[in-house]
A and B are shown apart, each in its own frame.
Chain A
């Protein structure tokens, strides 16, 4: 399929979804299931005073900071555990415990221990994400090629150069995999963190709309935010992935 044809199919598919939604809204005919026009009106209403873009920007900033923190810390932990069997034997179970701790528990504990602060919110999101990154990167680090490592050693390739040309490219697929799943997980948890303990952001606005049973506003925020995440995916992550994979047959 050519690029244009694929785009047409995607657009057609989304159009069909909107149409089905409109039909369902007409059949149900209840304020609890607004149709697309009402949601668009809510979106315009929320954008008029700059509230919607402002809250999305705030949420995105939180997503970005906690995402980069989690990727950096999780990668270091994962690579260290993947390279050392002894350390993995000692600290691997810790990672597993953290991995299976419910997100809500971590959020509540962070707020209780550090107060209802920005730092507590970011920490809570990052701590939720770190074990996922660590586990994926550990797989990657444990699977590093011995053959290539020996090659670099025989040819006396300096450490920094070997890291850049030999080691990191082998970890890249694991890094993109955890970034991909990480972004989706991070922004979902950020909304919960905002709902529980912040006074702005998409999560907070959703809670306000929920309390007023303002379903059009809930959908307006949900759709606007999903659209932004889609743009990030198409404009940032997919080109990066293509670049990292251009050597493959």
Chain B
């Protein structure tokens, strides 16, 4: 169970290197329901990543609070850059958040098989393509069986066919390992393909411009159009 209540009274970034001070959030409220796939949609620089970092507990320099229902959730995070350890093998990267030992290696290997990279377990990340690195990052996020999955444009800089396959993989993984998801993107169609609810952010400080549930029929249409587009190069 992971319900999140976000209440940010104020979040600002101090002026750095000649840039002005920035007010990112003021009196910002958002509730995320359990098992919801929430997409945060909006132009870059609005504070979407900041919001994820606040929820993750990485950014504590704000006034306000983030409440989780029940105990603190296990959080998996897929960053905008894969953030893998280049000096550790793919398998060691996925096993990093697990307790040391044979059991950890075994579940890391099983998770790698689920994302289709079992045969690259012994490779070093820099020898992988970006798409493969993103799969490893996805495996690392899922291997801890997260209650809450934070995803910051996890499929950006991939060609459309590749990104589509990864979104399909994400849907399949979530069916087997359900979790609450907060997913940041600036791509409307990507949002339609994966979300159960889309929150559109606008302005400075960021406010919620639209908050709409996604109609399964609309999503099916978006996925179908994605597939058609994928087939035509």
User: Which A residues are within 8 Å of any B CB, using their own CB?
Assistant: 147-148, 150-157, 161, 165-166, 169, 172, 246-249
Contact = CB atoms under 8 A, between A and B. Distances in A.
Interface in B133-163: 140, 144, 150
A165 B85 contact: yes
Contacts of B97: 155-157
Interface string B78-118: 01010101111000100011001000000000000000000
B126 A147 contact: no
B58 A161 contact: no
B28 interface: no
B24 to A, nearest CB: 18
A154 B92 contact: no
Q: Which of B58, B127, B144 has the most CB of A within 10 A?
A: B58
A48 to B, nearest CB: 50
A8 to B, nearest CB: 32
Contacts of A151: 77, 79, 83
Contacts of A153: 57-58
B124 A247 contact: yes
Contacts of B87: 169, 172, 247
Nearest to B144: A155
B120 to A, nearest CB: 14
A248 B126 contact: yes
B56 interface: yes
Interface string B45-68: 000000001001110000000000
B81 to A, nearest CB: 7
B75 interface: yes
Contacts of A247: 86-88, 124, 126
B59 to A, nearest CB: 9
Nearest to B56: A154
28 contacts: A147-B79, A147-B81, A147-B83, A150-B53, A150-B58, A151-B77, A151-B83, A154-B56, A154-B57, A154-B75, A154-B77, A155-B75, A155-B97, A155-B140, A156-B74, A156-B97, A157-B96, A161-B96, A161-B100, A165-B85, A165-B92, A165-B96, A169-B87, A169-B88, A247-B86, A247-B88, A247-B126, A248-B86
Contacts of B96: 152, 155, 157, 161, 165
A146 B181 CA distance: 24
A249 B150 CA distance: 30
Contacts of A249: 126-127
Contacts of B81: 147
A148 B77 CA distance: 12
Q: Which of B58, B75, B76, B85 has the most CB of A within 10 A?
A: B85
